[in-house]
Structure 1
Amino acid sequence: MSHAAGIDLGGTKIEVQVFDADWRVIGRNRVPTPANYDALIAALAGQVQWADDMAGGVVPVGIGAAGLLNPATGRVLSANLAASGQPLPRDIAAAVGREITFLNDARAMALSEAVFGVGRGLGRVASVILGTGIGGGVVLDGVLLHGPTLTGGEFGHIAAPAHLVARHGLPILPCGCGRAGCIESFIAGPGLARLAHALTGEALDPRDISARRRGDMAPVWALWCDLTAELLHMLTLTLDPDLIVLGGGLSRIGGVIDDLSAASARAQFGDFRATPLASAEGGDSSGARGAAYAAWQAQAGRAHV
Structure 2
Amino acid sequence: MWMKQVERFFMIQSEFYVPSSLQKGGYIHVRCVIPENASPTTPSVICLHGAVMHNIIFDVCVDEGQPTFLEYLAQKGFAAFAISYRGYGESSKPEEMDASPFPLRPIMRYDDARQDVLDVLKYLQTRKGTESFHICGLSWGSVVAGSLATKHPDLVDKLVLLGAVYSYPNPSWAAILNPENPNQLNPGMGSYRVVTKNMITAAWDAEIPGSDKSTWRNSPAVELIVNDMFAGDKIWAEQQSTSPCFRIPTGVSLDVLEIYNQRPLYDASLVKCSTLILRGAYDTSSHPLDMENLLRHLGTSNKKMITFGNATHYAIAERKAKTLWEEISAFFLKD
Alignment TM-score, normalising by the size of structure 1: 0.29
Alignment TM-score, normalising by the size of structure 2: 0.27
Q: Work out which of the two has the higher radius of gyration on C-alpha atoms and give 1 or 2.
A: 1
